[in-house]
Amino acid sequence: SAKESLQDIYEHCQTFCIRKQKQEKKSHAQMPNQVMQYIVEKHPDFEPLMKEWSEFEKAVRLKSKKIGQAPIRDRIDKANLRLLTAGTVMRKHGDARKKLIRVDESCELLLFEDTTGKKGPKQLNIRNIQQIRGGNAHPAMRNVPNGCGIQLVSIDPNGLEFVVCLETKTGIECDKWLSALQELVHAWSNNKEEKEKEKEEDKKEDKNKKQNKMNKAIDEKEEKKKWMKWWKAKNEKDKSEIISKFEHLSKSDFGIWLLHQSKWKNDLI
């Protein structure tokens, strides 16, 4: 409880650590979660400690999620990663010059770099790519060989769809890029779903905590009502007993009885 000193809490913690070391032969540094949980269990009514424990749990949960989330570049095939980051010279229809098409180191942006280096690169966020198609079905690619065309269907900041048309030198290059880009877009899509799932889990957990807090408040209120009812009934019983004794005992006997009652109550208090 809040009345216990920090020395008591420290002793509880120390005792727990020693016992766990003997059982599992682990160091103090390997057991912070267990130590915190042990202290909280010993002091369930200490509200500041419970609040700190809630924040501690949340921090540990977020840290474990960050550790569990591998970077996008680690989720795709190594050969595809080398192809994407090294880049390939392609014709981007709509531009007069050919472009070096590559992906940045974070695998977040598709870059269209001027081969002469005179202009800065343009970029397309991979997460905005909705679909990747091969072939020359798009009107801008009517003169492109069927096996050398790549179409990137994307969404602009206003939510409007647009298509980026690329042409490779050979069909083999086209196939490799189609496969690599599709894997990269799929990895980003999975990453988005994982984050949305984590958000839903966090919302659910927060909702459960709020509900538990409300339930605890209701239980405490009901407990208080119960004790108030008991105390009222006890007082009524005491009154009835005093009246009965007053009516049936002599004045001196009643005084003695009342004195004994007071002593008995004082002893309890």
Mean pLDDT comparison of 89-93, 195-199, 217-221, highest-scoring range: 89-93
Query: Torsion-angle region of residue 124: left (phi > 0), alpha (psi -120 to 50) or beta?
Result: beta
Residue 129 belongs to a domain: yes
Q: Is the pLDDT of residue 2 over 50?
A: no
**In whole angstroms, what is the distance from residue 4 CA to residue 46 CA?**
10
102 and 51 in a common domain: no
91 and 12 in a common domain: no
**Contacts with 257 (C-beta within 8 Å, 6 or more apart), sequence order:** 245, 249
Domain final residue, candidates 159, 177, 194: 194
pLDDT at 101: 94
Q: What's 81's domain CATH number?
A: 2.30.29.30
**In whole angstroms, what is the distance from residue 78 CA to residue 107 CA?**
13
Q: Is the pLDDT of residue 91 over 80?
A: yes
26 and 96 in a common domain: no
pLDDT at 123: 92
The residue ranking higher by pLDDT, 195 or 269, is: 195
**In whole angstroms, what is the distance from residue 200 CA to residue 103 CA?**
31
86 and 1 in a common domain: no
Query: By three-state DSSP, how is residue 46 classified?
Result: coil
Contact between 174 and 166 under an 8 Å Cβ cutoff? The reply is: no
189 and 105 in a common domain: yes
54 and 115 in a common domain: no
32 and 4 in a common domain: yes
Residue among 144, 15, 158 at smallest CA distance from 91? 144
- 10 Å CB burial of residue 2 (0-12, 13-18, 19+) is exposed
Among residues of the chain, what percentage have pLDDT more than 90? 28
pLDDT tens digits for range 105-161: 999 999 999 988 888 889 999 999 999 999 988 988 888 998 999 999 999 888 899
pLDDT at 27: 44
**In whole angstroms, what is the distance from residue 164 CA to residue 128 CA?**
12
Q: Is the pLDDT of residue 269 over 50?
A: no
pLDDT at 237: 72
pLDDT at 94: 81
Residue 243 belongs to a domain: no
pLDDT at 163: 92
Residue 257 banded pLDDT, cuts 50, 70, 90: confident
pLDDT tens digits for range 13-46: 656 656 665 665 544 444 556 666 777 777 777 7
Stretch 220-235: mean pLDDT: 79
112 and 46 in a common domain: no
Domain final residue, candidates 171, 194, 217: 194
**In whole angstroms, what is the distance from residue 20 CA to residue 25 CA?**
7
**Contacts with 122 (C-beta within 8 Å, 6 or more apart), sequence order:** 111, 112
Please list the alpha-helical segments (H only) found in the chain.
Answer: 6-24, 32-42, 47-68, 78-86, 171-248, 251-268
Q: Is the pLDDT of residue 258 over 80?
A: no
182 and 86 in a common domain: yes
Residue 207 belongs to a domain: no
63 and 35 in a common domain: yes
175 and 102 in a common domain: yes
Q: Is the pLDDT of residue 259 over 50?
A: yes
Domain count, the chain: 2
Domain that holds residue 125: 77-194
**In whole angstroms, what is the distance from residue 100 CA to residue 83 CA?**
12
Domain final residue, candidates 68, 103, 127: 68
Residue 11 banded pLDDT, cuts 50, 70, 90: low
User: What type of residue is 141?
Assistant: M
Contact between 43 and 4 under an 8 Å Cβ cutoff? The reply is: yes
Query: By three-state DSSP, how is residue 161 classified?
Result: strand
- 10 Å CB burial of residue 144 (0-12, 13-18, 19+) is buried
